[in-house]
C-alpha cells in the first residue's frame, strides 16, 4: 500500500515563531531547537517507509537537504491548509496519508505507525494533543473541506475536529495522546523523554542537552 507522510511545516526563520518559548529562552536557543525539530521529523519517513511530502510556508532554502516532494502551502486558515496538504498526497497516488507538524519531534514511531495501520479499518485516525489540539491526522481519502467549521488553536480544537470528521461520515480512530513543544513545561517533558530515547530525535536531543533545566 502506497502511503505518504505529509509534513505541514512553517520553516523557521530567526526570531520568529515559538513565542512562548522565546519568553523564557534566548532567541538563539529557540532558533536551534526549531531547526532540530524539523530535521528530526523529516527523517521519520525513512524509518517507516513512507513517501515524504513537505508542504511548507517560509523560505525553501531554509529547509535541510531532502529528497522529499516540496509543495508551498496554500493561503487560508489552518483547516484549508490541512485539506490542501492531504489532497497533494492523494493526487500523487497515496492510498493512505498522515499529516503531522514538526512540534512533536519525539512522537513515538509506534504511534505514527498506528496512524497508518488504523486506516485499514477506520476512515480517519487521530493522535490528540495534551493541550486539546491534535498531533497527527490520518486519512484514506481527501477531506473535501470537512474541517471548515473547526476553530483552530483552542483547547477544543481536537474535539471539534473529531466532531467534524464524524459529521462528514469519516469517524476517527482516536489513538494515544501525545504533546506539542511550545513552552518550557513541554520542553521539560521533551528533555525527560529524550534522556530515555535520544535516538528518536538525535539533533533535538543534542540541543536540549545544552539547555539549563
Tell me the per-residue pLDDT of 174-195, one tens digit each, with 9 for 90 and over.
Answer: 999 999 998 999 999 999 999 9
Could you list the residue range(s) of the whole structural domain that residue 60 is in?
Answer: 3-210
What is each CA distance from 113 to 14, 168, 172, 175, in whole angstroms? 33, 24, 15, 11
- What percentage of the chain exceeds 70 in pLDDT? 97
Determine which of 46-60, 91-105, 169-183, 196-210 has the lowest per-residue pLDDT on average: 46-60
Of residues 166 and 67, which shows the higher confidence score?
A: 166
Q: Quote the pLDDT of residue 60.
A: 75
Distance CA 106, CA 116 (A): 18
Distance CA 52, CA 112 (A): 13
Q: How many domains does the chain have?
A: 1
Of the candidates 83, 86, 82, the one whose C-alpha atom is nearest the C-alpha of residue 4 is 86
Of the candidates 51, 71, 39, 54, the one whose C-alpha atom is nearest the C-alpha of residue 7 is 54
Q: What is the mean pLDDT of residues 197-212?
A: 93
DSSP assignment string, the chain: --EEEEEEEE---TT-S-HHHHTTS-HHHHHHHHHHHHHHHHTHHHHHT-EEEEEEES-GGGSPP--SEEEEPPSS-HHHHHHHHHHHHHHTT-SEEEEE-SS-TT--HHHHHHHHHGGGT-SEEEEEBTTSSEEEEEESS--TTTTTTPPPSSTTHHHHHHHHHHHTT-PEEE---B----SHHHHHHHHHHHHH-GGGSHHHHHHHHHS--
The CATH number linked to 33 is 3.90.550.10
**All 3 cell numbers of residue 200?**
528518536
Is the overall model pTM greater than 0.85, yes or no? yes
Q: What is the mean pLDDT of residues 203-210?
A: 94
Amino acid at each position: 500500500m502506497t502511503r505518504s507522510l505529509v509534513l505541514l511545516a512553517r520553516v523557521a526563520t530567526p526570531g520568529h515563531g515559538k513565542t512562548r518559548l522565546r519568553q523564557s529562552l534566548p532567541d538563539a536557543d529557540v532558533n536551534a531547537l526549531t531547526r532540530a525539530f524539523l530535521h528530526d521529523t523529516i527523517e521519520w519517513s525513512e524509518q517507516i517507509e513512507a513517501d515524504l511530502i513537505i508542504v511548507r510556508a517560509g523560505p525553501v532554502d531554509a529547509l535541510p537537504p531532502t529528497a522529499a516532494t516540496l509543495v508551498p502551502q496554500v493561503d487560508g486558515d489552518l483547516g484549508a491548509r490541512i485539506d490542501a496538504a492531504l489532497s497533494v498526497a492523494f493526487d500523487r497516488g497515496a492510498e493512505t496519508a498522515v499529516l503531522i507538524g514538526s512540534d512533536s519531534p519525539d512522537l513515538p514511531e509506534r504511534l505514527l505507525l498506528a496512524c497508518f495501520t488504523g486506516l485499514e479499518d477506520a476512515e480517519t485516525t487521530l493522535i490528540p494533543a495534551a493541550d486539546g489540539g491534535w498531533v497527527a491526522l490520518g486519512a484514506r481519502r481527501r477531506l473535501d473541506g470537512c474541517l471548515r467549521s473547526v476553530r483552530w488553536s483552542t483547547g477544543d480544537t481536537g474535539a471539534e475536529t473529531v466532531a467534524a470528521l464524524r459529521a462528514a461520515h469519516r469517524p476517527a480512530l482516536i489513538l494515544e495522546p501525545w504533546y506539542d513543544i511550545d513552552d518550557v513545561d513541554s520542553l521539560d517533558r521533551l528533555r525527560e523523554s529524550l534522556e530515555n530515547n535520544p535516538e528518536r530525535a538525535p539533533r533535538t536531543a543534542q540541543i536540549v542537552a545544552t539547555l539549563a533545566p
